[in-house]
Structure 1
Amino acid sequence: MLFNSYGFMLLFLPIFLAAYFLIRTYIKDHKKKEGMLNLLMVLGSLVFYGLFDFRNTVIFCMSIFLNINAINIIRMKKNSKVRLGICIAANVAILCFFKFRGTFFPVAISFYTFNQISYLIDLYRGDIEEHDLMNYLIYILFFPKILQGPLMNYSDFIGGLKKAYDEDLDWEKIMRGMLLLSIGMFKKVILADTFAKAVDYGFSSIPNLGRMEAILSAVFYSFQLYFDFSGYCDVAAAICLMMGFELALNFNSPYKAVDIDDFWDRWHITLTKFFTKYVYIPLGGNRKGRLRTYENIFTVFLLSGIWHGNGLTFVVWGIMHGILSIVTRIVKNKKKAAGEKAQSKAVSVCKRIFGIIFTYAYVTAAWVFFRAEKISDALLLFKRMAVGGIRPFYSTFADGFNLDEIWYVIKVTPLMKLSFAWDICLWLFLIVGAGIIFFGKNAVSYSKECKINLGTTVLTAVLLVWSIISFSGVSTFLYMNF
């Protein structure tokens, strides 16, 4: 079941939250309340996940069964390090089998596999004091995070959930959660899916693109990814906020990053932490000299590229990020060795602006390989940016932005008399998208800090209704494919 679907928004979520609120409000016995809420979490999440495809559920249950046995094996202690390695290898083998065989890819297998690997390692290390089957199932299954994360630490997640069980309902948090939900839905359904129409056309018609269309195809894909993933993160966080606890922050205005390190501290934050904790540090991290550090950084990004997809384009994407990360580390090390020099405020601001522009441009260029079917297609798109010439947009490229609810307003105004009237919506979406991305406040922070009044209530209603009535063009979230 998708977040951006009638079934989820009008049926599943209201019923789930109503049951959750009723149990928390009217069941006073702590043990009974916790048991009922735990059961609700597991059953609700199974229904949510199971509605995708019965094959997903079968494979997921097999994975759960495998890992429950792995947990019991690790708890035996004898030769536990070897046993842990075998259990992790089994999980990775299953993930690779489905990821690279190319016929059927189970929904969310990457994320629930990573969660189970982290659980096994933390259990082995003693970070999880006691294994509890119900808590384990909730941790792996929990529907707001199963599809795309965040990849939370088990103790933090279960601790936050159990704390919420014991607190009174906070209606202000529920309202703030509704606001965040509406923002997230708007990002996905109205912004990301609209940019996707131009992106699909652009990347399927590369040889015919003019210079501006080629440039905007790359820019719009960076916007599509941004609003798609941040929209999912906002909705997941909103559901948890209404339930009374917080998910780990997983997306924090990444296109405001001043360098590539800053970018990965803001984009899919918990995935970055996962690779750091379970890959980079075990490889040696930065403890074995600079050359080994650079090798480890490159390995992590290469694995990240392979994780995202099995084509050479994803490998190139990972290599590009790895190279810039190494160069950035080298530059920082040289600056540190030379000592920090005082700079005027104007110089600092200029450097920051340059850093943001360069990082965004580089990341967007890497996204071109991420989106292209073949490396040659990506290179051709860059070529069209240089030699495509200046000409009017193809109608197919611009028409996707002419949403009926906006286009009808333009048609009855003097704007229709302008020569570029058909492209107005395209530029409007570009300006609004860029404004949110580069100047807007992170949605999670905004929802927590803004005043709840008539204005925010109206904003919530408008964005939510607008998104729901646009569900007819429903599309999956992009990170569900990885």
Structure 2
Amino acid sequence: MIFSSTKFILLYLPIVFAVYFLLNRYRLVSAGKLWLVAASLFFYGYWSTDYIPLLLASITFNFVVGCALSPHAPRFRIQSSRKLVLGLSIAANLILLGYFKYANFFIDNLNAVSSSAYSLGEIALPLGISFYTFTQIAFLVDSYRGEAKEYDFVNYALFVTFFPHLIAGPILHHKEMMGQFQSKWTLAIRYRHIWMGLFIFSIGLFKKVMIADTFAVWADAGFASGASHDFFSSWATSLSYTFQLYFDFSGYCDMAIGAALLFNIWLPINFNSPYKALDIQDFWRRWHMTLSRYLRDYLYIPLGGNRCSSARVYFNLMATFVLGGLWHGASWMFVIWGALHGGALVIHRLWKQLGLSMPNPVAWLVTFLFINVTWVFFRATSVADAMTILKGLVDFKSISATPVASIPTADLAWAGTGADALLAHLPSGLAAHVVSYVMIAVAFVVCANRNSFELTTQGSATVQKTMWMAVLFAIAMYSTVHSTSTVFLYFNF
């Protein structure tokens, strides 16, 4: 079950909402929270129930250790070194994550170096393990620092499992959520929150099924192993993935925020128009903001941050982003992507120290082109495939050559509406390019305007906004019924 499925929208979400507030109405507050925990576990186990025990064990372990580390839970205080316990508990979480996510990667590289033939067999990656592991490591550190002050097991279980964020984030801080789960103001239906939640959910749904899933067709075809490319197809491929990833993940986050608002819970904003960034540092303040915050607070600053020599600061930046790249998956391509961003931040820091600058339009163009190039490494399955696309980006001789073979339109979100029939009158290769570049132009326009959070929160609920919400929701729901997409991209990370 995913947010953009009819089962979630028409069955799961209304039932969970109705039962939760019905229990609260009869002052069964604890039962309402237990209902949300049970509903969230059902949501998680809908794909497979195999890893529900692992999730519950992780929650129990980290809650007990967090209580032991915290000065605000004296009943559980430990007598041994708190720092040692913190280190061991973080190591236990990372070892668990490492086994499921990186064990075969390590074995494959060991075999390649030593010509051995070790094998652990296929290891299935539990859904959302990266997100709930990082969330709980942050809780352990906050408990050690005394920043986490509320220790109720049901609230903690809800904090970790709450279905809007469980599978793919945002990555939450204990201190920003527990107060909301405790507050009596979240127990009653609040119609403004319902309107805002449905509005931002509709925007996210539209982003996912109408924009991201359309770009996915061209991105998947262009990044297919062994695909050949010319100038036009390389730009269509790279830009298609650049926009697919943004609209897919930001669409998920919009739907997560919208769904949570129905329950009067505010999740942190995860995207703030990242493709408007004027430099790479600005980009990381706008893109996957909760991950950026996490890497800063729990990796970059503990390494020394910028409170040390310039050489050490550059090392800290590189280490943070290489590890941040590796967090996305067990592949050297993610390491390369992280290293490129780390290197860009080092260059940006040197640039600023020298007092250099450039006009905003040029700064935007340089930043966007760099991000587009690095997404090629993020998406490609090998360096060779990535280089094929990158070479095509500057293959100016092929501009006058025959376009690549047509990319099918039958699987697009708007297939069957008549638009694809019109394209049949164009030459086959030209049809693919016309559609992709029109969509790319539309995506640039969308990214240049107000983002979903600004649209939702700026101004009051009006008839015009409500009509726009209804239109977006209706179009997206029509496409959802006909959609072939079964997953969000960040479920893989």
Pair in the same fold by TM > 0.5: yes
CA distance in 2, matches of 1:171, 1:481: 35
RMSD of equivalent CA atoms: 2.3
Question: Is residue 2:359 matched to residue 1:351?
Answer: yes
Question: Is residue 2:159 matched to residue 1:139?
Answer: yes
Deviation at 1:160, TM superposition (A): 2.5
Contact 2:63 2:156 in 1 (8 A): no
**Among 409, 420, 438, the residue aligned to 1:428:** 438
AA aligned opposite 1:58: P
Deviation at 1:424, TM superposition (A): 4.5
Q: Which position in structure 1 is the counterpart of 2:350?
A: 330
Stretch of structure 1 that moved more, 350-359 or 84-93: 350-359
Deviation at 1:405, TM superposition (A): 4.9
Cα shift readout 1:392-425 (whole Å, capped 9, x = no counterpart): 342126665583354x15757xx87666566553
Aligned pairs for 1:169-318 (under 5 A) are 169-204=189-224, 207-318=227-338
Quickly say closer, same or farther: Cα 1:171–1:82, change in 2 above 3 A: same
Q: Which position in structure 2 is the counterpart of 1:377?
A: 385
Deviation at 1:184, TM superposition (A): 0.2
Percent identity, aligned pairs only, is 36
Deviation at 1:234, TM superposition (A): 0.4
Cα shift readout 1:130-186 (whole Å, capped 9, x = no counterpart): 421111111111111111211222121121333364565332321121111111011
Give the match's secondary structure for 1:214: helix
Quickly say closer, same or farther: Cα 1:55–1:332, change in 2 above 3 A: same
Deviation at 1:124, TM superposition (A): 1.2
CA distance in 1, matches of 2:411, 2:485: 14
AA aligned opposite 1:298: M
Deviation at 1:239, TM superposition (A): 1.3
Deviation at 1:73, TM superposition (A): 4.5
Q: Which position in structure 1 is the counterpart of 2:407?
A: 396
Quickly say closer, same or farther: Cα 1:207–1:170, change in 2 above 3 A: closer
Stretch of structure 1 that moved more, 358-367 or 75-84: 75-84
Q: Which position in structure 1 is the counterpart of 2:465?
A: 456
Cα shift readout 1:195-254 (whole Å, capped 9, x = no counterpart): 011111101165422210111100110000000110011001111222223211111110
Deviation at 1:274, TM superposition (A): 0.8
Cα shift readout 1:324-375 (whole Å, capped 9, x = no counterpart): 001111111222xx9xxxxxxxxx9x71111111111101111101111111
CA distance in 2, matches of 1:88, 1:446: 39
AA aligned opposite 1:60: L
CA distance in 1, matches of 2:246, 2:129: 22
Higher helix share: 1
Quickly say closer, same or farther: Cα 1:293–1:205, change in 2 above 3 A: closer
CA distance in 1, matches of 2:394, 2:64: 57
CA distance in 1, matches of 2:251, 2:464: 21
Aligned pairs for 1:56-205 (under 5 A) are 56-71=51-66, 73-74=68-69, 75-102=77-104, 103-163=123-183, 165-166=185-186, 168-204=188-224
Q: Which position in structure 2 is the counterpart of 1:445?
A: 454
Quickly say closer, same or farther: Cα 1:182–1:66, change in 2 above 3 A: same
Give the match's secondary structure for 2:55: helix
Deviation at 1:477, TM superposition (A): 1.1
Q: TM-score, normalised by structure 2?
A: 0.88
Question: Is residue 2:387 matched to residue 1:367?
Answer: no
Stretch of structure 1 that moved more, 105-114 or 241-250: 241-250
Quickly say closer, same or farther: Cα 1:367–1:137, change in 2 above 3 A: same
Contact 2:248 2:488 in 1 (8 A): yes
Deviation at 1:291, TM superposition (A): 1.3
Quickly say closer, same or farther: Cα 1:206–1:60, change in 2 above 3 A: same
Give the match's secondary structure for 2:50: helix
Quickly say closer, same or farther: Cα 1:382–1:130, change in 2 above 3 A: closer
Structure 1, gaps ≥5 residues long: 339-347
Quickly say closer, same or farther: Cα 1:67–1:161, change in 2 above 3 A: closer
Give the match's secondary structure for 2:169: coil
Stretch of structure 1 that moved more, 459-468 or 258-267: 459-468
Contact 2:248 2:489 in 1 (8 A): yes
Q: Which position in structure 1 is the counterpart of 2:16?
A: 16
Q: Which position in structure 2 is the counterpart of 1:345?
A: none
Contact 1:312 1:375 in 2 (8 A): no
Contact 1:305 1:318 in 2 (8 A): yes
CA distance in 1, matches of 2:413, 2:457: 33
Structure 2, gaps ≥5 residues long: 70-76, 105-122
CA distance in 2, matches of 1:402, 1:192: 9
Quickly say closer, same or farther: Cα 1:129–1:73, change in 2 above 3 A: closer
CA distance in 1, matches of 2:269, 2:259: 14
**Among 33, 38, 43, the residue aligned to 1:43:** 38
Deviation at 1:94, TM superposition (A): 0.5
Stretch of structure 1 that moved more, 217-226 or 174-183: 174-183
Q: Which position in structure 1 is the counterpart of 2:486?
A: 475
Deviation at 1:456, TM superposition (A): 2.5
Deviation at 1:271, TM superposition (A): 0.8
Quickly say closer, same or farther: Cα 1:250–1:386, change in 2 above 3 A: same
Deviation at 1:440, TM superposition (A): 1.6
CA distance in 2, matches of 1:422, 1:366: 24
CA distance in 1, matches of 2:51, 2:172: 22
Quickly say closer, same or farther: Cα 1:274–1:77, change in 2 above 3 A: farther
Deviation at 1:126, TM superposition (A): 0.8
**Among 34, 45, 50, the residue aligned to 1:55:** 50
Quickly say closer, same or farther: Cα 1:71–1:245, change in 2 above 3 A: closer
CA distance in 2, matches of 1:280, 1:264: 14
Give the match's secondary structure for 2:183: helix
Quickly say closer, same or farther: Cα 1:314–1:473, change in 2 above 3 A: same
CA distance in 1, matches of 2:184, 2:230: 54
AA aligned opposite 1:163: S
Cα shift readout 1:34-58 (whole Å, capped 9, x = no counterpart): x133212211111111112112213
